[in-house]
């Protein structure tokens, strides 16, 4: 771990300047009655200590709530605006805002983490970091600042970091069993090159899953340099076409990135295949696109609001409470829809 960066407090400035905290506050804010010599002395000491006024302290003085930062992941080269148009991150931001208010806090969305000194100056009560990658540099930086944070997703190189994650392994196993029950014997997993814990868990479960007479092959869609969701969809469609042209042809495809299932349906239609009669198609995370698709797409409900609520509770909890688990796993459930239902009975909920 790198050097811990500590922010000088108002009390530190007051102590070094040999004045009361109230006098130090008035001298730095320009309020109150402080003679010019004392004001200049306090300001000089503050500069020497690299004192930066806390935004939280200013908010407290104004009667405003504390603020929690929400740090969304860097997904390929997508802008924050485009990221928030996705069903998953748009809803997550709304739920985070609602649950922050429950705890008497406001929420600010950070496009990326600031340098440590700037982050400290924001005076945030804490941060929720979404979808960390393996060895995420955001975790390393936050460990240096000592700003409290909770991960949605895991960084296995930071096992002590409080985290909330879905039970991806169980859900993927249930999905594969469902596809097998519906007659799939040649299953393709359409994965991305993004190193998220959910993707790693899915690939590990996929590799260990065995069913009589079934084969399972993974294909990777490289999304790291994509600048738009349309570009990601086009690459997924291209890889799906390549997979569907293989001999023997797959009879089921499971997408492991938002929108992949829709790209597979498009590719299947280009080849004259119908879903689900010729090809079963499923998605690893549920969304409005999956529910309203043509046909509606079987997907995994990762109960994102429950993840957000749990993350907020962990962030607000007592860091010295070692009896309460600091990492939680939220159940994930399978929503079966027409895209994988060859039998007459199915649900489109």
- pLDDT, block means (10 residues), the chain with 349 residues: 66 92 82 84 90 62 69 89 92 95 90 76 89 92 89 95 96 96 95 94 90 83 93 97 96 96 98 98 95 96 96 85 82 98 58
Q: What is the pLDDT of residues 169-210, one digit of tens each?
A: 999 999 999 999 999 999 999 999 999 999 999 999 998 887
Distance separating alpha carbons of residues 144 and 137, to the nearest angstrom = 11
Distance separating alpha carbons of residues 212 and 293, to the nearest angstrom = 31
- Helix residue ranges, H only, 146-187: 168-181
* Domains present along the chain, CATH in parentheses: 10-51 (no CATH), 66-166+305-330 (3.40.50.2300), 168-302+333-340 (3.40.50.2300)
C-alpha dist (Å) from residue 49 to 45, 55, 310: 6, 18, 38
Strands (E), 182-276: 186-192, 215-221, 252-255
Distance separating alpha carbons of residues 250 and 275, to the nearest angstrom = 13
| Full DSSP string of 15-61 | HHHTS-HHHHHHHHHT-S---HHHHHHHHHHHHHTT----HHHHHHH
What DSSP character marks residue 9?
Answer: P
Question: Is 338 in contact with 295 (CB distance < 8 Å)?
Answer: yes
Query: What is the pTM for the complete model shown?
Result: 0.79
For residue 108, what is the enclosing H or E element?
A: strand 105-110
For residue 267, what is the enclosing H or E element?
A: helix 260-270
Question: Is 286 in contact with 337 (CB distance < 8 Å)?
Answer: no
Distance separating alpha carbons of residues 245 and 303, to the nearest angstrom = 35
To the nearest 10°, the Cα dihedral for 110, 82, 199, 232? -150
* The predicted structure's pLDDT at residue 63: 46
């Amino acid at each position: 771990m790198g050097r811990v960066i500590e922010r000088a407090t108002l009390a530190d400035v007051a102590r070094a300047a040999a004045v009361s905290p109230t006098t130090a506050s008035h001298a730095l804010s320009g309020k109150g009655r402080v003679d010019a010599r004392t004001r200049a002395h306090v300001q000089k000491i503050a500069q020497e200590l690299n004192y930066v006024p806390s935004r939280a302290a200013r908010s407290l003085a104004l009667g405003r709530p504390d603020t929690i930062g929400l740090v969304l992941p860097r997904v390929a080269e997508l802008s924050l605006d485009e990221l928030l148009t996705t069903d998953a991150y748009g809803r997550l931001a709304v739920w985070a805002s609602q649950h922050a208010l429950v705890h008497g806090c406001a929420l600010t969305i950070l496009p990326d983490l600031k340098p440590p000194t700037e982050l400290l100056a924001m005076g945030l009560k804490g941060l929720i970091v979404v979808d960390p990658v393996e060895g995420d540099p955001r975790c390393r930086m936050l460990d240096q600042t000592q700003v409290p944070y909770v991960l949605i997703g895991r960084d296995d190189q930071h096992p002590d970091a409080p985290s909330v994650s879905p039970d991806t392994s169980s859900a993927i196993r249930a999905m594969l069993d469902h596809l097998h029950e519906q007659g799939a014997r040649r299953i393709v997993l359409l994965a991305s090159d993004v190193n998220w814990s959910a993707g790693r868990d899915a690939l590990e479960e996929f590799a260990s899953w065995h069913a009589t007479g079934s084969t399972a092959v993974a294909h990777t869609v490289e999304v790291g340099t994509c600048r738009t969701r349309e570009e990601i969809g086009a690459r997924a469609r291209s890889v799906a076409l390549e997979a569907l042209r293989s001999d023997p042809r797959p009879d089921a495809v499971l997408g492991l990135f938002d929108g992949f299932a829709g790209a597979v349906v498009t590719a299947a239609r280009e080849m004259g295949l119908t879903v689900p009669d010729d090809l079963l198609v499923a998605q690893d995370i549920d969304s409005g696109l999956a529910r309203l698709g043509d046909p509606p797409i079987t997907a995994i409900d990762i109960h994102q609001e429950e993840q957000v609520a749990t993350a907020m509770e962990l962030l607000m909890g007592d860091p010295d409470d070692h009896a309460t688990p600091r990492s939680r796993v939220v159940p994930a459930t399978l929503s079966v829809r027409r895209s994988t239902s060859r039998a007459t009975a199915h649900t489109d909920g």
